[in-house]
Amino acid sequence: NKGLTTPSCIHGAGDRKVILIGDSHANAIVAGITSAASLNGFSVVEWTYSACNFVPGIKKTSSELRKYSDYQCTKFINWIQSQLEILPTDIPVVIANRYAVEAFGPNEVRHPKAIPNVYFSKQHETASAEFIQEFSNHIIDGACQIAKNRTVFMVRPIPEIGVNVPKKLSRRMVFGANEDIYLPFNDYMKRNGWVWSAQNAARDRCGVKIVDPTSLLCSDGRCYGSMRMRPLYYDDDHLSGFGNQIVTPIFSDIFNSMRTPDKSSTLGES
């Protein structure tokens, strides 16, 4: 979350590599991807930076930068791009980000102000249609630039439940309640529908593959923060160890799909 040097952590012991790129949401799913990778002879190289969407051209607003010390998100993205230019092209890339928080701010605060945390050509006071379109274009262009030379997987946004799941669940249990915590799927799509559209556009334009963990985290119009009274998150929006176990099967599809020539699939989406 500061500086430029990354430890390039390697998870697992497989001979082949896959690179996981993104922000803390990518870091929070590395266990699930590693579990799936290990079964297929892969290990996972992690290049993540807290609160830093891997979207080339993205910049933090001045108000956001004041919260950090030695924050080098833009340079980190540039470093990733330079590294990908020299690495063997048979190494696939997985991109996972919490896009919505950068576009609209957090949804875990009581009275959120929908003010973008980032910008591209100019800073915006609100998440206007112009801003969302520009953000979307950069998501598409960044993924397609990498996809020119290697296989790229984009992960659908992990649902942001909006409450600290373990804390709220423990309070419910104290009072004898046994109802799981969830977020309506419609609320999820209100924040993330534009991201789905951008990912679909990247799939259609340049063959990016899409991995959809919501197929395992959401059902019957709900995205669950817990299952059978066990938290899927360690806070309000980062998957826990149990949450990683739940989504591991969808990440297994990444490696299964690499054995087939189809480059236009959406993995896990019904």
Give me the mean pLDDT over the 158-165 stretch.
97
Confidence of residue 270 (pLDDT cuts 50, 70, 90): very low
Strands (E), the chain: 9-11, 16-22, 42-48, 59-60, 93-96, 118-119, 152-155, 182-184, 209-211, 218-219, 222-224, 226-227, 230-231, 266-267
Given a contact cutoff of 8 angstroms between Cβ atoms, the answer to whether 14 and 64 are in contact is no
Residue 56 has pLDDT above 90, yes or no: yes
Within the chain, how many helices (H) and strands (E) appear? 10, 14
How much is the CA Rg of the chain, to the nearest whole Å?
Answer: 18
Residue 132 CA to residue 130 CA, distance in Å, equals 6
Residue 29 CA to residue 110 CA, distance in Å, equals 26
Confidence of residue 111 (pLDDT cuts 50, 70, 90): low
pLDDT for the residue 109: 76
Give me the mean pLDDT over the 108-120 stretch.
83
Confidence of residue 269 (pLDDT cuts 50, 70, 90): low
Residue 36 CA to residue 253 CA, distance in Å, equals 8
182-222 per-position pLDDT tens digit: 999 999 999 999 999 999 999 999 999 999 999 999 999 99
Residue 239 has pLDDT above 80, yes or no: yes
pTM equals 0.93
| Of 262 and 244, more confident | 244
Confidence of residue 263 (pLDDT cuts 50, 70, 90): very low
Calculate what percentage of the chain has a pLDDT beyond 90.
80
